[in-house]
Amino acid sequence: MRFLLVLLLSLMSWSVLSQNTRLGRIRKTVDSTGKYTPIKYLAIEYAKGYARKLRFFEESDISFQLQGNNTRLTGRVEQIMDSTFFFTDEESHITSEIALKNISMIFSPYRHIPFVSKGAGTIAAGGVMFSLIDVLNQVQRNQPVKLSPGLLAFSGVCIGIGLIAKPLSYPKYKISSKRRLVVRFM
């Protein structure tokens, strides 16, 4: 029995570690002379937690907000320079040069937290549906509609868990003078 448990846990950990990211494997580029060409990427300096692992390579998707502008820009990083990057907007397909110092907030594309990321919306919808089905059952039986405190508590907890878990799956990071967006090399 212990052997099966160890085998199950090792297979689960192996599957989590071997999950393919959207970027795939990043290969180090070697030019025709055999010299190593460093790969540039954008990262948040002095970040903690998940933001430390957040990197935006060339040809990867990025979502951000500019200073003094409340609109969220989503698109693809085309080329990274020392203090700017070229960005192609997802909607208009226009390429523009964005200075790193003009970015005020970075939105994470997706953060996978087991049982939280996938179930956030489902748990909230389940709480609403549980209350709605109870009310419809009472109407169908021609009974007066009254909600029990236990039902309201359970539905409220489900909706609350869903509303709390949703921002955890799609975090946003403020860029300031202390925590700024920088170009790094691999």
- Quick: pLDDT tens for 57-100: 998 999 999 998 888 999 999 999 989 999 999 889 999 999 99
Q: Is the pTM of this model over 0.75?
A: no
Instruction: State pLDDT tens for residues 156-179.
Output: 998 898 888 877 777 888 998 888
118: left (phi over 0), alpha (psi -120 to 50) or beta: alpha
> Cα(143)–Cα(165) distance, rounded to whole angstroms?
36
Query: How distant, in Å, are the alpha carbons of 40, 66, 77, 105, 113 from that of 101?
Result: 17, 9, 16, 11, 31
Burial profile 82-96: b = 16 or more Cβ within 10 angstroms, e = fewer: eebbebeeeeeeeee
Asked whether the predicted pLDDT for residue 34 surpasses 80, the reply is no
Asked whether the predicted pLDDT for residue 108 surpasses 60, the reply is yes
